[in-house]
Each structure stands twice: as structure tokens, then as C-alpha cells.
Amino acid sequence: MAGRPRRRSGSLTREEIVVAALEIADADGLSGLSMRAVARRLGVEAMSLYHHVANKEAMVDAMVDAVFAEFHAPRIGEDWEQEMRLRSRSARESVKRHPWAIGVLDSRRNAGFETLVHHDAVIGCLRTAGFSLSLTGHAFAALDAHLYGFLVQELSLPFEPGADLAQLGQMIVSSLPEGQLLHFKEFTLEHALQPGYDFGDEFEVTLDLVIEGLRARLAA
């Protein structure tokens, strides 16, 4: 559950509202977020929030904008490969802090200024590196598909990174039909359930694959 309500002194600000909303969503998900919950956390009446945010949807817009502000904004004119790697890494860490965001980052009709600034930086970095408009679109889509897709998998794993998977492996093996699913069995037992394997390590490897593909397409 989210933390205890605060005792207020002074006038309420939009920034305080967004911070409180983020704390609630980080702890309880968007299902636990409401104007009343935020007001209760801030120690104010719910009606006082409406002077700063119109409704819950506007509050979520502001929260998404705050998450985008945590992403590394690629620096225009710098090495595009390094900048896109930094962007993906920082975005991954941000979304892991705010797991509720994975399903809503690009769903807002009213994108905030920080969101637009971030998108402009990504596009500008790619364009100044020589990407055409169409290839910029392809690159942005591929990088986001990798980032968001990986996070969906990583955040939904049924075990914690570094957990002892021996028991899980034994359960999987015992449930497999004899003589079937041989490739799945081989991959699971001889790779995915081996000591030291961490699905999170796949992030950098697969990001490299995306960057290498974009590099080849740019060169062509």
C-alpha cells in the first residue's frame, strides 16, 4: 500500500499532486489511483485538487509526462547508437520504478510537454545522424517495440531475478509429455534454467541486435 498521508503546510501545488499520484500508482497500480486517494495522501480535500488537474485522466497525463522526463533525451548531434542505448537503458529503469506506466506511455491523447520534448530529441538525433524521415519512423518503432515488449515480459515473469529455479525446472520437466516438446525442453533445461541465467541480461543483447539492424539499414 502507498505511504501515510502527509501533514500539509502552505498552498498545494500541481507538482505535489503528481508526486503523490506517482507514489500511489507505484505502490498500488492505476487501479488504486483516484482523486480521493491523492487528496487523502496529501491531507487535503479532494476538491482542492481540481484547481490543478481537471480529473483523473488529466492526472494520469501529468504522471506519464513525469515518467518521460526521467528518460534520457538523446542529444542531437551526438553518436546516435550510444544515445539510443542510453535512452533505452534509462527508460527501462524508469518503467521498472513505475510499472503501471508500461501500458499507458503512448496512449495519452493529451501528451505533455516533457513527452513531446523527449520524442523531438529522439527524432532529432536520428535525423541528424542521416536517417530519412521514413527510416526514422522505422527506427523509433523498432526501438520502442524492443523497449516496451521486453518490459512487458520482464515485469510479468513468475519469479524474481536470481531466484533458485531448480524447483520450477523440475515442475516443468515433470509436466512435459514424454518424447514431445523436445526443443522447448532442451532450451529450458540447458539454457534458461541454468545457474546464473537472468532474463534481464537479454536486454542489452537484444538491444544490440536492434541497433545493428538499424546501422545496416542506414548504411544501405
Q: Given the C-alpha cell 500500500, which residue does it identify?
A: 1
Segment 179-200, tens digit of pLDDT = 888 888 888 888 877 777 888 8
Q: Which three cell numbers stand for residue 25?
A: 500508482
Q: Are 3 and 41 within 8 A, CB to CB? A: yes
Res 42 pLDDT > 90: yes
Superfamily of domain 66-159: Tetracycline Repressor, domain 2 (1.10.357.10)
pLDDT average, residue stretch 80-94: 98
Segment 138-156, tens digit of pLDDT = 999 999 999 999 999 999 8
- What fold, for 14-53? Arc Repressor Mutant, subunit A (1.10.10)
Domain span(s) for CATH 1.10.357.10 in the chain: 66-159
Q: How far apart are CA 181 and CA 177, in angstroms?
A: 8
Cα separations (Å) of 40 from 2, 4, 20, 22?
A: 11, 9, 10, 14
Domain span(s) for CATH 1.10.10.60 in the chain: 14-53
Q: Are 93 and 45 within 8 A, CB to CB? A: no
